[in-house]
Chains A and B, each alone.
Chain A
Amino acid sequence: MISIVFSVLLILVVLGYFFGRQRALSSSGGTIGSLHSRPPYHGMYVASWVGIPSILLVLVWLTLQGPIIDMILVKSLSATKLQGLSQSQIDIIISQIKSLAAGNVFGEPDAEAREAAENYLRWQSIAQWAMFAAAVAIALAGMALTSGRISQLFRARHGVENVLNLVMIACSMIAILTTLGIILSLLIEAMRFFDRVSITEFFFGLNWEPQIPIREGQVTAGGAFGAIPVFTGTLLIAALALLVAVPTGLLSAIYLTEYANPRFRSIIKPILEILAGIPTVVYGFFAVLTVAPAMRDFGAYLGMDIAPNSAIAAGAVMGIMIIPFISSFSDDAINAVPNSMREGSYGLGATKGETITKVLLPAALPGIMGGILLATSRAIGETMIVVMAAGLIANLTANPFEAVTTVTVQIVTLLIGDTAFDNPKTLAAFALGLVLFVVTLCLNVLALRIVQKYREKYE
């Protein structure tokens, strides 16, 4: 039914376009130049008035139809059947009737339920036909109204431009509203978590053991939600990643901008950027299958005990993953330093090295810092590599050879498998998610501010 409605509306839109264009052509009296707007604009003007209000009506209708029919259904049920029932029990009766209407008969439904199911089906078909009629009527009304306006002087182009403007605004709002929705849902769930676990325990507790019994008689730990070990684990891995990525990325950027010949640069730069396109899951099993065993063997050779899922393996591989961020940001920043700075420095008898360290890097520092901050937020939010290569147990340690866990790993493990959305174990994931979101948001805003400020400088 819905697809029929939409196809009919689509046909009307196309018809409206041609109709509008035709009207414009005939009103021009043969000389198109006498029209204010070219004929296709008239066509689009009619088409948008045919399509947009009717489609909006269908969407609104579809969202309201279900709840309204449900309401009527509840009203139609006899008072005796609903007497003394709670809201959730009424909901169960309603869904039983609905499944009966859909043809799934469970047990022996009573006569009243059968009747209600039939009523339900009838109301639904009435509602859909009404929707169809209303949509087509609005579409036709739109066509009649707008085609009457078409004349030589009618400013159809302005109308179409306004419509496009609104469409673009709506599209940009979608992204913003979705973000707001995400923040809101995180906030609400996190609030529910903090109802059960105190904020001070979460932010300052040193013990993270979120496995609490969800069935009676299940043997688990008592449940402790001190997130400090999770945060320190995240910071440890991110710090290790930066330790790998910052020198490598920066030095490769310096080499590419200042020393490499253009041919070499044109080959190496894309290859470096390919690193950014490798799926993180591939890095993940590279970390867990190649790097971690290699580190373990190497550690054994030196007489050190390195855990199989050590922080250093995850951190090192994550570092490799964020090299392209740092190198391409630094590359851009160093390139953006005007050539006159280099010449000025050379002209004073500075060597290339002195020019780079004393003039270019200080001038490019804001851009480089921006890149590092973005890479940091990427490292903190990175999930796949750490899920595969870092540990699950929240160790409070600064030793990179031990297993630690991160915020993202904990969120994943908390939400996998049997979950009940009303116990602190599951809700803890939202609290962690909120912290992660706030931290990465702050880092990104800071990074963008720095980069922006720096861009203004040389223009």
Chain B
Amino acid sequence: MEPQVGMDQEIEKSTVPATGVSEKPGETAALNPKMKAKKVSVYYGEKQALFDVDLNIYEKSVTALIGPSGCGKSTFIRALNRMNDVIEGCRVTGKILLDDMDVYDPKVDPVQLRAHVGMVFQKPNPFPKSIFDNIAYGPKIHGMGSNKTDLEEIVETSLKRAGLFDEVKDRLKEPGTGLSGGQQQRLCIARAIAVSPDVILMDEPCSALDPIATARIEELIDELKQNYTIVIVTHSMQQAARVSQKTAFFHLGYLVEEGDTDMIFTSPNDERTESYITGRIG
């Protein structure tokens, strides 16, 4: 029954932002793919965690990756900005294209790639620095905002876009770790926005937050999709239904089904998808 509830909310929600942007769930097919995964497999040592995934991620929309624990959705999202490079013994085969650049091309520097494909993590992880320095960290290392006023402007815009500015404008010098969990996560989103990426990857951004903070982040994701391409991993099917236009369902390392969010939640083609969204597996 639960997914039905989620669906109702989804329909309400998607009509609201649609006033500003010209995308309704039905029209998403018209979007351009920003990233393309072609036959992507990921191995941790000998163990294969992801099998031949083909998936397009469309520009200025939200793609939700759902599936039970251990299904490979986090592995996949981390493959998109080569965060898996940090893990010892991790190997990726296949192709991932950002626009038309293969991100696993030896000529591509993962450091530069991650400036284009930013990431927000499961647990809010602000650095033990001031709020200002947390946001300014990325722009500084990428040489953006060479003087102080530029930097201040970047910080202010990022905080405004992350919907945090009004709450913290008087205490930018205080440590970011002193904020509440939801504020910290929005700070991390602001931090990701500050380096002006094309794509923002969010790995279960709300799993450590309470329902009110979650709702706030979901609203934010909805606003952000006007400017950014967003990929979100989530355990909550309601959340996927509420915030995303495209949904991909992973199971045991395989991409089982992908498509418009409405379609996945109302008339899935695959039996396993139906079992998952109705709560029989996972």
Contact = CB atoms under 8 A, between A and B. Distances in A.
Interface stretch (A159-167, A338-346, A372-380): A338-346
Interface in A108-143: none
A359 B125 CA distance: 12
B155 to A, nearest CB: 14
A347 B127 contact: no
Interface residues of B, number: 28
Contacts of A340: 121, 123, 125
B114 A363 contact: no
B133 to A, nearest CB: 9
A111 to B, nearest CB: 87
A348 B191 contact: yes
Contact of B81 (A261, A341, A347): A347
Nearest to A350: B141
B111 interface: yes
A341 B125 contact: yes
B117 to A, nearest CB: 9
A354 interface: yes
Interface string A325-352: 0000000000000101111111111110
A342 B115 CA distance: 15
Interface in B104-135: 111-116, 118-121, 123, 125-129
A299 interface: no
A362 interface: yes
A453 interface: no
Nearest to A363: B128
Query: Could you say which interface size class chain A belongs to?
Result: 20 to 34
A144 B114 CA distance: 81
Considering residues B83, B111, B112, B188, which has the most beta carbons from chain A within 10 angstroms of its beta carbon? Answer: B111
B137 interface: yes
A349 B138 contact: yes
Given A340-B121, A362-B128, 13 more contacts: A341-B125, A342-B86, A347-B81, A348-B138, A348-B191, A349-B138, A349-B141, A350-B141, A359-B127, A359-B137, A363-B127, A363-B128, A457-B128
Interface of A: 261-262, 338, 340-351, 354, 358-359, 362-363, 457
10 contacts: A340-B125, A342-B86, A344-B121, A344-B127, A346-B83, A348-B114, A349-B138, A350-B141, A358-B141, A362-B128
Interface of B: 81, 83, 86, 88, 111-116, 118-121, 123, 125-129, 137-138, 141-142, 188, 191-192, 195
Give me the 9 closest cross-chain CB pairs, A-B, nearest first: A349-B115, A347-B119, A340-B125, A349-B114, A348-B138, A344-B125, A363-B128, A354-B141, A351-B111
